[in-house]
Amino acid sequence: MWLASEVMFFAGLFAIYFSLRSMAPEIWAVQTEKLSIPFSTLNTTILVLSSVTCQMGVFAAERLQPRRTSWAPSKWGVVEWFWLTYAMGAFFVVGQVYEYAVLTSEWVMLNSDAYGSAFYLTTGFHGLHVTVGLIAFLLMIGRIQAIKVFTHRDAMSMVAVSYYWHFVDAVWIGLFLVIYVLK
C-alpha cells in the first residue's frame, strides 16, 4: 500500500513536470541543452546496475546466506551484495549533487524559472528517496550483524527493502527518459 502511495506521489511530480513544460516550451529548449547526457547516462547506468546487485543480495537472503563464504562474488552473502548496492547508490547521489553544482553554475536553479523548479523538484525528491533507501540498506546490514541466526523472517525484510530499491530505480528510469531523453 505504501509503494502505491509513492507511485501516486511521483505521478503528481510527472504531471507537474509535463504541465510546466507545456506552458513554457521555449524555456525547456534552452535549459535542456545545459544537461550532460553522457554523465547522466553513466549515473543512471550505475543506479540501474545497483538493482542487479540488490537482487543478488535477495538471492543470498533466500538461500539464508547472510555473509560470504568465499571472496568469489558467487559466494557472497546479503551483506556483501548490499554493501555494493549501497556504494552504487551513494555514487548516484554524489553524481546528482555534482550535476546540481554544474547546473547552478550555469544559472539553472530552483527559483530561476519553471524548468529549474520542475527539474529540482522531481530529481530532488527522487534523490531523497534514494537516500532513504541507502539508510534502509545500512539498517539491514546492521540487523544482519546483530543477529546470530539468519531466518526466513530476516530474509523477508531484505526482500522488502529490495522492493523499495527496485521501485526507486524504476522511477528514475522514467525520470531519466522524460528529463534527459525526451526533448
Cell of 45: 547506468
- The number of distinct structural domains making up the chain is 1
First to last CA, the chain: 34
What phi, psi does 175 have (nearest 5°)?
Answer: -65, -45
How many Cβ atoms are within 10 Å of 147's Cβ, its own excluded?
A: 12
Distance CA 28, CA 65 (A): 49
CATH number at residue 86: 1.20.120.80
Query: How would you write the pLDDT of the chain (183 residues) with one tens digit per residue?
Result: 777 888 898 999 999 999 989 999 999 999 999 999 999 999 999 999 999 999 999 999 999 999 998 888 889 999 999 999 999 999 999 999 999 999 999 999 999 999 999 999 999 999 999 999 999 999 999 999 999 999 999 999 999 999 999 999 999 999 999 999 987
Report if pTM > 0.85. Answer: yes
- Domain holding 28, by residue range, is 2-181
